[in-house]
A and B are shown apart, each in its own frame.
Chain A
């Protein structure tokens, strides 16, 4: 639309910047106490020596990181080789989280588009329906899913009864089951931001594109997607980041062979068998990876804004 109103981020933003300080203080306090301090504690713990009954001994060491990346034999006296176990777990996690993000995008974008193009009152109903399952705890939903997809669970039973398959599809305790779990857990985090972006999309732009000889595909890729890109990126981050650290889906649906970082870290802090510095180190490595993704995002945004 015509410029004028709403264009002036310049002067007014500066004038009101001072007012924000007292208002934003609680937010800063919460972020400080519940986010920055715990991360710092973890950072410190990752450089401490492990105590066998859980907990730490206050002796600085790189042992946790060393254990993550290098294999020095059973007694720790052999020349170091690369330790693939954990790198493999990380790689599997990235792959699973990436795949979940792509699947959520493929299903979430059309869903969000569908909802955003309904008449206003039915939009609310659709959004409500999307969020209804999320009122139930994730643990319970994941266990229900486990029950549903078991070899002799209702899903297989229905398919058998309907004659669509002759023997049960084995899904439980496979990577596919984990994927299904991740996809299901985080789909709304894709749908909601894209919905918000599509709702603000000016549909006259699609008409303008068609008027200028663009096919539907060109309109989608060159006009619609660039316009709703912030929503898509936000959705991808909101799905990718928690998927990367997820432990419920891999634990409950994946079995021992489909371990992901989240489960690895969880193990280290559970009971007497744990290794706090190692868990902290793995968490720090995960955090670093997530931060790299976010920095990429921030930079692409900054470039777009110019």
Chain B
């Protein structure tokens, strides 16, 4: 978490949002710190846009509360909330040129025409659109329109900026460039960013913290590293990066350590997510943490069923005796021996690389 003077910018407190009998958000609680780059990550339809719309004021929440720097904002209409949005579909005013689009919010806040024009010029320079200042939105490419939407939302210097998949219309090259720009912009302006994406790479590289959302529920909140390395449950482990989910029988849990039995009978001790319980469970092991060894000395063994060449790496799929498949990611260097299809191999991983999940 950045600077961390402890101020909470947006406090989302047990928010539920229902559309008729469909529940789009269930008991969502998030405390987003001042000056934080906070990302909402989740698959399509999980409720990311809905949550942003609740913060911006376009949707009434069905239960719970949202506080902005301590003040409840449920009663405030969108035009009285010090929050600006970069819309998923941009929503630029088609009859106004770029400068007037950017000036719109400033004029509404009572800035004079000349002040607003000056500030619009500054912001357009920031997003490198100065030469398009007099064009209409329809005369810009998708990526350029996206940057206008960003400039328009930044111009009034809001306390909180809501960004709804702002990079989705950009091609890979531009997206990577804008990612860096956005991060830099956030550092320079000190504005709290709430950023929505369903692209995990985007989330992992840009955010201070990430909330993984699925099915209207917050699955886990944490830094990129915590989410990747210490996933709480199957959904998070599976959604972020690639992972092997291995069926185990959990014998005992002692604090944050679990003792379990791997398929094939080997005993294994590893960290457990809080809330994991004994009985049947799943271990998550990232493919890059699995190494291939001599079957006689390994806790798991099986036969190589598939080899996928990825350039720098190689994916080796190993089918265990019970039919499950475990993938190992092997570096493609001179001193690794790549097994052949059908060969019996052992699979090894350190205790710290595995994690017992909440099912």
List chain A positions with a Cβ less than 8 A from chain B.
Answer: 1-4, 7, 202, 204-205, 207-215, 218, 222-223, 226-227, 229, 304
Contact = CB atoms under 8 A, between A and B. Distances in A.
Nearest to B82: A213
Interface in B42-95: 56-58, 77-80, 83-85, 87, 89-95
B214 to A, nearest CB: 26
Interface string B106-149: 00110000000000000000000000000000111110010000
A279 to B, nearest CB: 44
B84 A212 contact: yes
Contacts of B93: 205, 208-209, 223, 227
Contacts of A7: 138
B207 to A, nearest CB: 23
Contacts of B166: none
Given A3-B141, A7-B138, A226-B95, A213 B87 contact: no
A213 B145 contact: no
B105 interface: yes
Interface of B: 56-58, 77-80, 83-85, 87, 89-95, 104-105, 108-109, 138-142, 145, 152-153, 156, 169
A82 B145 CA distance: 60
B287 to A, nearest CB: 36
Nearest to B78: A210
A213 B104 CA distance: 9
A213 B105 contact: yes
Nearest to A212: B105
A4 B142 contact: yes
Given A3-B141, A3-B142, A202 B104 contact: no
A15 B84 CA distance: 43
Contacts of B92: 208
B140 A3 contact: yes
Main secondary structure of the interface of A (DSSP, over half): helix
A202 B91 CA distance: 8
A215 B78 CA distance: 9
B104 A214 contact: yes
Contact of B85 (A2, A211, A218, A227): A211
B112 to A, nearest CB: 15
Given A7-B138, A204-B91, A226-B95, A211 B79 contact: yes
Contact of B169 (A2, A207, A218, A227): A2
B109 to A, nearest CB: 6
Given A212-B108, A213-B79, A207 B58 contact: yes
Contacts of A211: 56, 78-79, 83-85, 105, 153
Most B Cβ at <10 Å: residue of A7, A205, A208:
A208
Contacts of B78: 207, 210-211
A216 B46 CA distance: 31
A202 B89 CA distance: 10
A205 B95 CA distance: 11
A2 B79 contact: no
Given A3-B142, A212-B84, 9 more contacts: A2-B145, A3-B138, A207-B56, A207-B87, A210-B79, A211-B85, A212-B79, A212-B108, A223-B93
B241 to A, nearest CB: 30
6 contacts: A2-B89, A3-B138, A213-B156, A214-B108, A215-B108, A229-B95
9 A-B pairs with least C-beta separation? A212-B105, A2-B142, A213-B108, A208-B91, A204-B91, A210-B78, A226-B95, A210-B79, A211-B85
A95 B105 CA distance: 40
A218 B108 CA distance: 9
Contacts of A202: 91
Contacts of B169: 2
A165 to B, nearest CB: 42
Contacts of B85: 207-208, 211
A207 B91 CA distance: 8
Contacts of A3: 138-142, 145
Nearest to B92: A208
A211 B90 CA distance: 12
A218 to B, nearest CB: 7
A238 B180 CA distance: 54
Chain B CB within 10 A, most for which of A210, A215, A229: A210
Contacts of B104: 209, 212, 214, 222
Contacts of B79: 209-215
A270 to B, nearest CB: 48
A210 B91 CA distance: 12
A151 to B, nearest CB: 50
